[in-house]
Chains A and B, each alone.
Chain A
Amino acid sequence: MPLNIDWQQILLHVLNFTILFAVMYFFLFKPVKDFMEKREASYQKKHDDAKKALEDAEKTKAEYESKIAAAEEEISVMKSEAGAKTAEERNRVLEQTRADAQNILETARKRGEIEHDKIIAEAQKEIADIVTTATEKIVLSADVKKSYDEFLKSAEGNLKNE
């Protein structure tokens, strides 16, 4: 053969390399590769778990935030309702009080008028009585001057009594 190529030796080289391939594959390449793949898978799992947990947390957070917002809205509605109710109550009480005051005033005025009328009526009655009595006395005594004085005195006395 040219260049001293020897097929037997080529085959021996091939055999040598094949053995080396088997050895390297089973003792070095495969175990290292398996280890690396296992580690990669475990990290991938960790990563996925973390991502899932984060997503769940985000979801829960959003849920709570919406709940809080709803609660705040409710509170504000309740507050405004309470405010309106209070104002209404106050107005009602005020109105009531005003009406009561008006009533009292009215009653007092009416009573005052009645009293006034009564007093005047009594006074007139008394005056009339005095006049009658005086007239009776004047008529009976016929002493005009005396009677006149008598009349004045009794009138004075009546006034003092009053």
Chain B
Amino acid sequence: MSKKRRIVSVVVFAAILLVILTGIVLLGKPAPRPESLSETMRDAVLHESMKVSLFGLMDVNPGLISAFAVTGILTVFALICRIFVIPRFKEIPGKFQLVLETLVDLFRNLAKSNSPEKNRVLSAYVFTAGVYIFVGTMFELFGFQAVTTSGASISLPAPLADINGAIAMGCLSYLFILVGGIANNGWHGFLGTIKEFSLPLSMSFRLFGALLSGALVTELVYYTMALSFIVPVLVGVLFTLLHALIQAYVLTLLVSMFYGEVSEKKLQKPKRRKKKQIKEETTDNNTITPEVSK
């Protein structure tokens, strides 16, 4: 009896849901958009019309506002941790302490394994960059709203989906590697970094491309009303989560690898000595061989 009742109630519940869903899909009219799809796409890449005012000083891309917001969130989080959590750290860590320790340890190990000699500053940089990229990309999911200069509402994108943000991140990482190379290895470090001149470009555009394409796909999906049920759970959440993780990992890995390569102390090869030795050996052989032949 109870089993039958349960089945009936489940079926009824499913039917009600189905009716509501079809009603929404059939009756709902998409809200009037300020832009057409192609305009939205174009604007996502170029940010021509959708600008946000930065405290009335200048008009900036929404990505910069996102970047400031992410920094604000992370600052508040770090301060809370510093004031309330870290002083109460225990020898045997609790759950939250374990999360923090794992995070710090993850990036420290990444830096240590790729740059075994010098990694104090690198681990801090990699930690910050990884957290920034991850949180910045996840930030997109929350859909915080901002008002554009034209008065329309826009949901804030990932900071690195803005080309300026991506270039800033890529060039800063390259500069960091350059400074590390010079500080640890002098002239050799400088040359080693300059040799990889395409690195800032590739790092910038990798970030920009990955995050922008994610944003574009999500935008495309959201644009169609009928697709805005269930599908966004996969497309929005999972894709965002995935490329947040991947991009954070890739950039930190690249930075630590190049940093390790550039700051590695190279053994100076005793070239002259070798040549001399070889010469001596050959002359010895020459002097010996005639005697042997005699």
Interface centre among B61, B128, B159, B162 (most CB of A within 10 A): B128
Asked whether any CB of chain B lies closer than 8 Å to the CB of A16, the reply is: yes
Asked whether any CB of chain B lies closer than 8 Å to the CB of A45, the reply is: no
Asked whether any CB of chain B lies closer than 8 Å to the CB of A153, the reply is: no
Q: Give the distance in Å from the alpha carbon of A151 to the alpha carbon of B169 in the complex.
A: 169
Interfacial chain B residues near A30, Cβ < 8 Å? 124
The contact size tier of chain B is 35 or more
With contact pairs A4-B163, A23-B75, A32-B104 given, residues A17 and B82 touching in the complex (Cβ less than 8 Å): no
Asked whether any CB of chain B lies closer than 8 Å to the CB of A162, the reply is: no
Interface size on A, residues (CB 8 A): 29
Asked whether any CB of chain B lies closer than 8 Å to the CB of A28, the reply is: yes
Interface residues of B in 123-170 (CB under 8 A from A): 123-125, 127-129, 131-132, 159, 162-165, 167-169
In the complex the two chains form, is B46's CB within 8 Å of A3's CB?
A: yes
Asked whether any CB of chain B lies closer than 8 Å to the CB of A54, the reply is: no
Q: Give the distance in Å from the alpha carbon of A29 to the alpha carbon of B130 in the complex.
A: 12
Asked whether any CB of chain A lies closer than 8 Å to the CB of B188, the reply is: no
Interfacial chain B residues near A16, Cβ < 8 Å? 64, 67-68, 71
Asked whether any CB of chain A lies closer than 8 Å to the CB of B79, the reply is: yes
A15 to chain B: closest residue by CB = B168
In the complex the two chains form, is A29's CB within 8 Å of B128's CB?
A: yes
In the complex the two chains form, is A17's CB within 8 Å of B168's CB?
A: yes
B77 to chain A: closest residue by CB = A28
Interfacial chain A residues near B64, Cβ < 8 Å? 9, 12-13, 16
Interfacial chain B residues near A23, Cβ < 8 Å? 71, 74-75, 78-79
Q: Give the distance in Å from the alpha carbon of A24 to the alpha carbon of B129 in the complex.
A: 10
Interfacial chain B residues near A8, Cβ < 8 Å? 58
Min CB gap A78→B, angstroms: 57
Asked whether any CB of chain A lies closer than 8 Å to the CB of B291, the reply is: no
Can you list 14 contacts pairing A with B, beta carbon distance less than 8 Å? Answer: A6-B61, A12-B60, A12-B64, A13-B67, A13-B159, A14-B168, A14-B172, A20-B75, A21-B128, A23-B79, A24-B78, A25-B124, A28-B81, A29-B127
